[in-house]
Amino acid sequence: MATTDYKAQLLTRIADRTARVGIIGIGYVGLPLAMVFAEAGFRVTGIDVSAERVAALNAGRSHIEDVPSAQLARLVAEGRFDATTDYAVLADLDAISICVPTPLRKTRDPDISYIVNVTEELARYLRPGQVIVLESTTYPGTTREVILPQLQERGLNVGHDYFLAFSPERVDPGRTDWTTRNTPKVIGGVTPACMAVARALYEGAIDRVVPVSSPEAAEMVKLLENTFRAVNIGLVNEVLLMCDKLGLDAWEVIEAAATKPFGFMKFTPGPGLGGHCIPIDPLYLSWKLKTLDYTARFIELASEVNTQMPRYWVQKIQDALNEAGKPLKGSRVLVLGVAYKKDVNDVRESPALDILHLLRGKGAAASYHDPHVPHIQVDDASLSCEPDLDRALQMADCVVVVTDHSAYDWAKIRPQIQLLVDTRAVLRHVNL
């Protein structure tokens, strides 16, 4: 009796765009990926635990700045995209990408509970002829050691009945040059057949796919990318601290070093690390290595330097106010920009939140302005963006530039500032 060739069937469905694609987790990673698959001709279903988010998506309202509501509404109207909170839809899907959060616990250990919970749902509805790809950043071994055993309990054969792979997300919110579609996609499959199916799926929507030998290699690729950034940012942040001790301008030194046409890559210091990836991902690798009795010294040191930067800048604020004859306690301190990077509305792990927390803890009357972020939560307080930027600038005893949004007219802002602490050095060359 002939056995069913699920690989061939799935490859055919992918090629003729009859394969139904599911994205679990419709956030900063999942929604752009869903749009790319839908634009490529696939019918896409998003699965999310937030009923409010699902309702907004089905009404054509995007919560991600990188995904215009007009694009989303068009794909919903064309029947190319819909969203649901019901995991039962998994049984009808052919290809499933997992894009759920992977935060750190307070103990700085990986929290893969979202992946575990999703895998339990996948195992309930797993059927022959499906390909599953984990995109959530995690430590090497997660795909094979956490997801695969739960799926295997269904009695299906990986690489024959169903297909499993890892492909790390490479989303950089706010970019228009490198997007989900044209950023090369690394993929590692549990078996060669898994690799072939996952590669075909992503090649149907992404410009370039980069195969590696295993899920572990693909998991490590992502951690290397963000560890590279975290360590180099930690290095230039320490250069800033050293230059401060030496009475040198760190940005002048870095800009001059960057004129070397080889052997140097420019990184700039700032208020600390933010976003969901760079502050967190290297610690996943560090944790994994600790289980193997190895200390990732570069990662630990970079994390130590980077996490202390908000305290450094709060001390600079306090010193500047002291020189002006004012105590930090009771002074009005205005933070410009609270998103973790310029031109986005994402405040996850933003150092601005730490700076505001420290300022408030020292008794400062701290407020903020950010054209992209109307409200934030600091400790137990809900803060709103200052409605009148000009008035807020003029009323502030000290202004702290934390996020250098393009929307800010720095030439107009600078003359209104009484006392400035500039963590991004964007006002160095703006004359009063």
**Residue that the structure tokens 């839908």 belong to:** 38
- Residues whose CB is less than 8 angstroms from the CB of residue 284 and which lie 6 or more positions away in sequence, other chains included: 102, 104, 110, 137, 138, 139, 223
Count CB atoms within 10 A of the CB of residue 135: 24
Question: Backbone phi, then psi, for 52, in 5-degree steps?
Answer: -65, -45
Q: What is residue 38's three-state secondary structure?
A: helix
Of 298, 299, 265, residue with least CA distance to 279 = 299
Tokens of 388: 């009148």
Q: Does 99 participate in catalysis according to the annotation? A: no
d(CA 9, CA 320): 68
What's CA 411's distance to the chain center, in Å? 31
In angstroms, the CA 278 to CA 228 distance is 9
Eight-state DSSP code of residue 143: I
What is d(CA 205, CA 320) in angstroms, rounded to the nearest whole number? 52
Residues pairing with 83 in the sheet: 46
Sign of the Cα torsion 200, 205, 208, 212 reads negative
Tokens encoding 28: 């900063």
Active-site residue identified among 99, 194, 243, 277: 277
Whether the CB-CB separation of 167 and 187 falls below 8 Å is answered with: yes
**What is the distance between the alpha carbons of residues 234 and 240, in angstroms, rounded to a whole number?**
10
Q: Which residues pair with 130 in a beta bridge?
A: 162
For residue 343, give the amino acid letter.
D
Which helix (H) or strand (E) is 53 found in, with range?
helix 51-58
Q: How far is CA 323 from the centre of its chain?
A: 38
d(CA 87, CA 352): 37
**Distance separating alpha carbons of residues 324 and 339, to the nearest angstrom:** 29
C-alpha to C-alpha distances, 350 to 70, 89, 341, 379, nearest whole angstrom: 29, 35, 8, 14
CA distances in angstroms from 236 to 23, 267, 391, 405, listed in the order given: 38, 7, 35, 21
Q: Catalytic residue numbers?
A: 277
